[in-house]
Amino acid sequence: MKKIAIFASGRGSNFSAIAQAVKKGSLKVKLALLVCDNPQAPVLSKARKLKIKTVLVKRGDFDSKKDFEKEITRYLKEEKIDLVIMAGFMRMLTPYFVRAYKNRIINIHPALLPAFKGAHAIKDAFDYGVKVTGVTVHFVDEEMDHGAIILQKEAEIKENDTLVSLEAKIHKVEHLLYPEAIKLLTLGKVKLQGRRVSFRGR
């Protein structure tokens, strides 16, 4: 069974969705580790309630970002992690870390990449006035919100939507799409060639 680590810095809604899928048995992985950089993050208590091992690594405790990531890598190696799941971890990873786990780090982004990159994608799409936005699950590479796309799902923006209602729609899509993408990866159904993804027996 593949072992995954989830990286999160905040509420942990995607963490909870993945943990629920594991608990139900629809996602057959070992959720071995939560990595967090924020001591105030609600996701920490969520993980502890589920008896999932948590690691709090604070950036301010290290002289450099590379030293910070080396400490995280040490924990990942201890747990023999197969796949790293970024779920609201609000830090860009360095090339050192991306290369260490090449093609084994994925991220979820609340827009249809390559549109609306960055930390405020839902608001940016709403303010721009597009009629359709959505969610992207992609491999992480050395550029922001850039790696090969695994899955995307649309979310319609209706005339009566507010930013709050759109955020709720996006989160609902995320909570369905992320476990599905992890399942495809851990079952070996995703084939990556350069920046192109294809599927085996899906």
Q: For residue range 36-92, what is the model confidence (pLDDT) as tens digits?
A: 999 999 999 999 999 999 999 999 999 999 999 999 999 999 999 999 999 999 889
Report d(CA 102, CA 194) in Å as an integer. Answer: 12
**pLDDT of amino acid 32:** 98
Domains in the chain, start-ordered, CATH in brackets? 1-101 (3.40.50.170), 107-202 (3.40.50.170)
Active site residue 146: no
Block mean pLDDT (10 aa), the chain, length 202: 97 97 96 98 97 96 95 97 96 94 97 96 97 98 94 97 98 98 96 88 70
Asked if residue 186 lies in contact with residue 3, where contact means CB atoms within 8 angstroms, the answer is no
pLDDT at residue 53, as a whole number: 97
Q: Which two tokens stand for residue 33?
A: 């580790």
- The number of residues making up the chain comes to 202
| Single-letter code of the amino acid located at 133 | T
Task: Give the pLDDT confidence score for residue 193 in this predicted structure.
Answer: 86
Residue 202: per-residue pLDDT: 67
